[in-house]
């Protein structure tokens, strides 16, 4: 039994955050005061498309990956994450910024200040059994920031705080930012 628990802990540590996929790709372009625009795209985490609805009896988040393109200091990028409680009991979630364990090819880890640029509308929602809820996430880099990498990544972490035991599952949405 101890070996099984240790193996489970090692497996969770090796996997890091679990990446989920979205059922469809979406794209929104938002104008900025200067007349140019940036683009936010949510896409499946792989090239496949799910044909069925996500399971009601499992906890999941969507989208698994968000791309923000043509971004710049002073802009505000807003997006909505969907969180589903797959348990037959209410669950409280902790939603927050997270430094990535690894990054996509060509992307770097974010600056230390990035955590201050990410705003989550409801960081501790309580979801009823099998409830699905949308939570707003905003990225706002202050105007005038100069040392931002050209391509960088951060994660939004979602943890069910009502989980019991020594091993807790963390779901993460990957946010990839391309600066102009």
Q: Is the pLDDT reported for residue 119 higher than 60?
A: yes
Confidence of residue 73 (pLDDT cuts 50, 70, 90): very high
Residues 126-153, mean pLDDT to the nearest whole number = 95
Q: What is the pLDDT of residue 105?
A: 97
3-state secondary structure 103-167: CCCCCECCCCCHHHHEEECCCCCEECCCCEEEEEEEEECCCCCCCCCCEEEEEEEEEECCCCCCC
Instruction: Give burial (CB, 10 Å; 0-12/13-18/19+) of 147.
Output: exposed
- Write down how long the chain is: 180
Residues 7-30, mean pLDDT to the nearest whole number = 40
Contacts of 37 (CB under 8 A, 6+ apart): 29, 30, 31, 70
Question: In this structure, are residues 124 and 94 in contact, taking their beta carbons and an 8 Å threshold?
Answer: yes
Return the domain boundaries, the chain: 2-179
pLDDT above 90 coverage of the chain, percent: 65
Q: Give the CATH class of 2-179.
A: mainly beta
């Amino acid at each position: 039994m101890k070996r099984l628990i240790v193996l489970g802990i090692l497996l969770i540590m090796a996997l890091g955050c679990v990446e989920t996929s979205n059922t469809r790709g979406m794209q929104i372009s938002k104008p900025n005061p200067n007349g140019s625009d940036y683009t936010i795209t949510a896409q499946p985490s792989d090239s496949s498309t799910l044909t069925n609805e996500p399971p009601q009896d499992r906890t999941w988040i969507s989208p698994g990956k968000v791309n923000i393109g043509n971004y710049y200091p002073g802009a505000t990028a807003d997006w909505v994450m969907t969180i589903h409680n797959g348990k037959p009991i209410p669950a409280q979630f902790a939603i927050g910024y997270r430094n990535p364990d690894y990054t996509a090819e060509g992307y770097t880890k974010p600056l230390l200040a990035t955590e201050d640029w990410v705003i989550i509308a409801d960081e501790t929602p309580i979801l009823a059994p099998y409830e699905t809820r949308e939570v707003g996430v905003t990225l706002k880099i202050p105007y005038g920031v100069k040392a931002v990498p050209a391509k960088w990544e951060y994660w939004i972490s979602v943890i069910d705080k009502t989980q019991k035991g020594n091993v807790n599952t963390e779901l993460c949405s990957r946010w990839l930012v391309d600066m102009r």
